Amino acid sequence: LMNAAVAQGVEPAQVAQHCDSVSLCFSKICLSPCGAVLAGCREFVTEAWPVRKQLPKGMWQAGVLAAAAHLGLQCTEVTLHRDRNNAQRLAEGIHVLDSPLWTISLAAVGTNTVMVDVQKAWTSLLELCNRLCAINEEEVAETGQAVSVLLLPWSAWTVCTVWHCNTSALDTELARRKLEFMARKCQE
């Protein structure tokens, strides 16, 4: 919800108006150690309220965690914009590589998520993910960096990359360089 609102340049309420209920996880959007909020019509919330009591051990000191979420929410918009910009930078970097190994639709990058279509030149998508995660001596010697890129296999030949509040512009550039290194080595 929050990433979609940032990508569209609208308030979250404008996106949520089309939903019956909304749940936000504070650890994902604002670095809070835990916590979430559930919103919906009065009847929905009335029905959901007793369910929380059925869950194991409620948090007695929830106010401390609420304070962390409140503080994090104050900088969420800046963080989400930064994550979106980093995702776009990597997508543009992959596109510029013009590698026969993978393709990307720049128009499809709207939030903090980038989907990369991998060509069937690879034995498997798992092999690609393992090679991007691994660090080898030749890469370190050539690039001067030891970089591990974690990708999520999304479908048979698509991987998903996601940016979050702990991923910097430098991390994004290092990931782009790793992909460039791999593309070059595979073409050799």
Q: Write down the domain spans for the chain.
A: 1-77, 80-186
80-186: CATH number: 3.90.1150.10
pLDDT of 47 > 60? The answer is: yes
More confident call, 84 vs 63: 84
Q: Among candidates 107, 112, 108, 106, which has minimal Cα distance to 77?
A: 112
Per the prediction, the chain carries an average pLDDT of 83
CA 5/CA 70 separation, integer angstroms:
19
Between residues 166 and 53, the one the model is more confident about: 166
Predicted structure pTM score: 0.73
Q: Which residues of 114-130 are buried (b: 16+ CB within 10 A; e: fewer)?
A: bebebeeebeebeebbe
Half-sphere exposure of 58 (CA within 13 A, CB side): 10
> CA 184, CA 69: separation in Å to the nearest integer?
43
Q: Token pair of 77, please? A: 């918009």
- Lowest-confidence segment of 51-55, 99-103, 108-112 by average pLDDT: 51-55
Mean pLDDT of 40-58: 79
User: Can you tell me the distance from the alpha carbon of 89 to that of 7, in angstroms, rounded to the nearest whole number?
Assistant: 15
